[in-house]
Chains A and B, each alone.
Chain A
Amino acid sequence: MSQAVVDRLNTQFGERVLETSDAFGDHEVVVALKDWAEVAQFMKDDADIRMDHFIDLTAVDYPERETARFDLVLMTRSSVTCARIRLRTYVKDGEEPGTLSSIWSGANWAEREVWDMFGIKFAGHPDMRRILLYEEFVGHPLRKDYPIDKAQPLVPYREVDDIDKLPPFGIEEGQPFARIDWESRLAGGDDQVSPAIGVQQGQRRTLSDSEAARHIQARIDARMAKEAEAAQATEETTGEGSGE
C-alpha cells in the first residue's frame, strides 16, 4: 500500500522526487524544499492515495552538514488505505518552508513546535509563536549548538548559601544523570558529594549501591553528630537558666 503511494508520487512528480527508500518497511520520499507544500497538498487531495491523517511534523538538526542544516520530516497516514509515508526535505538555516496548516490543521501546532525547538519559520503560518517555551526564551534548544546546560529562568534563583541540603541531595541536587565531575569531588572529600551516578561530559562513573549507601550513611552520621552537639549545647544553657 505504502509502495503504491511512492509509485504514485513518482509518476506524478518524476524528477522532482529526489530520493525514495523503504528501510524496514517505512516508505520515505524526499523532495526539494520548493516542492514541499505542493507534494503535501497532492498527497492529501489525490483520490488514489488520500493521505488524510497528519501524524507528526518534526525536524532533525545536522549542524555539520554543509548543504542544508535541517531535515524537515512529515509523517502521514491514510485512513482509507492505511498506507504510511514519510515525506522529507532539506532546509537551510533561515529558509522558510511553506506551511502545511492549511492542508492538515494538525500541522499548525506541530509547526509551532518546530519553530520553538529548531527555529525554522513557516511561510504563511497563521500564528507563528512559540508553543512550549516562553516568549522570553532566547535560542532554540533542540539545535545541537544550544548549550546543553543552559537554563533561562523566568524567576531569578534565590541566592541563599545555607540551603544546607541533607542526604540524599547534594548541592548539585544529586541528579543521577547530572553533568558533574564526581571523580574529583569524591577525591577531594567535598562535603557536598551526593551519592549518585555522575556523568561528566564524555566520562561516566557509576557508584555501586554499597558506595552510595556509605555516602548516605556518612552524611547522616555527620548531621546527627552536629545535631546532638547542638542539642547538648542548648540543654546546657537551659540547664543553667533553670538552675539560677
Chain B
Amino acid sequence: MGQLKVIEGGGEVAVTTRLSDLLQWARKWSLFQYPFVTACCGMEFMATAAPRYDIARFGAEAPRFSPRQSDVLWVVGTISQRQGPAVRRIWEQMADPKWVIAFGTCASCGGFYDNYTTIPGVDKVIPVDVYIPGCPPRPEAVLDALMLLQDKIQANDRKPIVVPPRLVPERAPGRTGEGNS
C-alpha cells in the first residue's frame, strides 16, 4: 500500500494511510474478471486459472459473465471485425473503474492475421491497459501482466503497458519492487 504510518502505544497498534490508497489496494486485490475468450489463447488462460498457476492468489479468480459485475476485461484471442461491436458493447457496459488486458499477440496487434477479417489489436476499438505478447503467452507472462496491472491500479496509472519480454526480467517497467504490498 502507499504510505503507511504505524502508531503504537499502550499495547495497541493503529495504521493510517490515505483513503485513496486504501481504495486502490482493495481494488487491486479483488479484480473480478470478464473472460472474452475467442481463440487458442484460451488454453493458456485456462492454465493460468487452474491450480498450478492459481490466479486466485491474486484475488482475480472470480469470473463474472455479466460485464456489469466485472472489473477486468480479458480479451483472449483473435478479435474479428464482426466481433468488434460485441466487444465494444461489453466494454461500454462495464462499470468504472474498469481495466482491459489484451491477452496474446492477436488481441494486442492482430498477430499474424493481417487481412480483411481481423481487428489489428483490440485497442483499435477499446482502450487497453496491459498487453501480453506471446502466441500464446505462457501463464507466467499472464501472471506478470496481472501484477503489472495491480501495480498500475495502486499507482493510479492508466498508461498502457506491455509485459516485457523475458530478456531482463529485473528491469521490467513498473516492477521496481517498491510499494508492493
Using a CB–CB cutoff of 8 Å, the interface residues on chain A facing chain B are 133-134, 141, 146, 148-155, 157-158, 160, 163-169, 173-179, 213, 216-217, 220, 223-224, 227
Contact A169 B124 (CB under 8 A): no
Sample of 10 more A-B contacts, CB < 8 Å, known A149-B114, A168-B165, A217-B167? A133-B82, A151-B116, A152-B81, A154-B84, A155-B125, A158-B127, A168-B133, A168-B162, A174-B109, A227-B173
Q: Of A134, A160, A213, which is within 8 A of B82 by CB?
A: A134
Give, as a whole number of angstroms, the nearest-CB distance from B49 to chain A. Answer: 25
Instruction: Report Cα–Cα, A217/B165, bound state, in Å.
Output: 10
Return chain A residues, CB-CB under 8 Å to B131: 165-166, 169
Q: Is the CB of B84 within 8 A of A155?
A: yes
Cβ of B75 to closest chain A Cβ, rounded Å: 14
Contact B114 A223 (CB under 8 A): no
Is B116 in contact with A150, judged by CB distance below 8 angstroms? yes
Pick the residue among B117, B123, B173 that contacts A163 (CB under 8 A).
B123
Contact across chains for A223 and B167 when beta carbons are under 8 A apart: no
In contact, A141 and B116 (Cβ under 8 angstroms): yes
Q: Does B164 reach chain A (CB closer than 8 Å)?
A: yes
Which residues of B lie under 8 Å from residue A224 when comparing CB positions?
171, 173
Task: List 4 A-B pairs, minimum CB-CB distance, nearest first.
Answer: A173-B109, A166-B162, A155-B84, A157-B124
Given known A163-B160, A175-B109, A224-B171, contact A153–B165 (CB-CB < 8 A): no
B139 in contact (CB, < 8 A): no
Q: Which residue of B lies closest to A169 (CB)?
A: B109
> Among A153, A164, A179, which residue has its beta carbon within 8 angstroms of that of B160?
A164
Interface string of B85-105 (1 = CB under 8 A from A): 100100000000000000000
- A-chain residues with CB within 8 Å of residue B165 when the two chains form the complex: 167-168, 216
Nearest A residue to B109 via CB reads A173
- Are the CB atoms of B116 and A153 closer together than 8 Å? no
- Assign chain B's interface to a size class: 20 to 34
Instruction: Say whether, besides A165-B131, A175-B110, A220-B167, A153 and B162 are in contact (CB < 8 Å).
Output: no
Q: Are A164 and B125 in contact (CB under 8 A)?
A: no
Cβ 8 A contact of B133, one of A146, A149, A169, A179: A169
CA of A148 to CA of B114, assembled, Å: 9
Bound: A149/B85 CA distance, A: 21
- Taking the nearest CB of chain B, how far is it from the CB of A161, in angstroms? 13
Residues of B near A165 (CB, < 8 A) are 109, 131, 160, 162
- Complex alpha-carbon distance, A224 and B115, angstroms: 34
> If the complex has contacts A163-B160, A175-B114, A179-B114, are A169 and B108 also in contact, measured as CB distance less than 8 A?
yes
Report Cα–Cα, A150/B11, bound state, in Å.
Answer: 71
Q: Is the CB of A151 within 8 A of B125?
A: no
Cβ of A177 and Cβ of B112 under 8 Å apart? yes
List the B side residues contacting A160 at CB < 8 Å.
127
A211 smallest CB distance to B (angstroms): 14
Q: Contact at A158–B124, with CB atoms within 8 Å?
A: yes
Does B159 reach chain A (CB closer than 8 Å)? Answer: yes
Q: Is the CB of B120 within 8 A of A175?
A: yes
- Offer 6 A-B interface pairs, CB within 8 angstroms, sorted by A: A134-B82, A141-B117, A158-B124, A175-B109, A175-B111, A216-B167
B38 to chain A, nearest CB (A): 15
Could you say which of A150, A167, A179, A213 contacts B162, with CB atoms under 8 Å apart?
A: A167
